[in-house]
Amino acid sequence: MPEKSQETPKKKGGFSTAVKTVIGIIVIIIIILAIAFLTLNITVMPATPGVPLSFTTNYGVSFPEGQPITIGNTHISVLSYQNELISDIDGDKEKLVYGEDRNISERRAVITTLGVVTLIDTHFQILLKYKGERDNRAYFDMAVQTSQQVPDILLRNLLPSAIDARPI
């Protein structure tokens, strides 16, 4: 008697429904995360007194000379001349030499996404220490003090691309 071949029937159409569902969910999550990232917004306002600034993130930064930079709603411009730096922060000009500090007063920042979802509501203050000038850029050590932990990815996203900020 001839033997019958016992082959398992092959599914037509490729992937199973479960795999298609998982891939669909992953694609939807990626799209939502991309929209959330692209709609990040920061609103900066005056700070309410008495909130402790318990967290600090340190960066080495460089500012292009003579080009206005905006961090939140703070406008910063720097220009060096004969081993001195003139810093203009919101119209308040101050002369600095190597190693001197310049503080940007405390403010409150609310970071939202998708227009209505509050990610972080924190007070912050920026401390700058002048480290000299090279290649028409003013170098600083920058400490960002905040009232709550702010993920580095959010801080880096909110710093303008014109400043080169590197964690130290």
Asked, for residue 35, whether it belongs to a domain, the answer is no
- Please say if the pLDDT value at position 115 is more than 70: yes
pLDDT > 70: what percent of the chain?
Answer: 90
Asked, for residue 134, whether it belongs to a domain, the answer is yes
Asked, for residue 66, whether it belongs to a domain, the answer is yes
Give residue 117's domain range: 41-167
- Record the pTM: 0.72
Over range 137-155, report the average pLDDT: 88
| C-alpha–C-alpha distance, residues 98 and 22, integer Å | 57
Over the chain, what is the mean pLDDT?
86
Instruction: Say if CB 78 and CB 88 are below 8 A apart.
Output: yes
Q: Is the dihedral of CA 14, 17, 22, 24 positive or negative?
A: positive
Asked, for residue 26, whether it belongs to a domain, the answer is no
- Please say if the pLDDT value at position 10 is more than 80: no
Over range 137-156, report the average pLDDT: 87
Asked, for residue 122, whether it belongs to a domain, the answer is yes
Question: Residue 154: what pLDDT?
Answer: 75
The residues, ordered by sequence, that sit 6+ positions from 155 with a Cβ below 8 Å of its Cβ are 57, 144
In the chain, the number of structural domains is 1
15 bridge partner residues: none
Return the half-sphere exposure (C-beta side, CA atoms, 13 A cut-off) of residue 77: 8
Exposure string (b/e) for 83-93, b if CB count within 10 Å is 16 or more? eebebebeeee
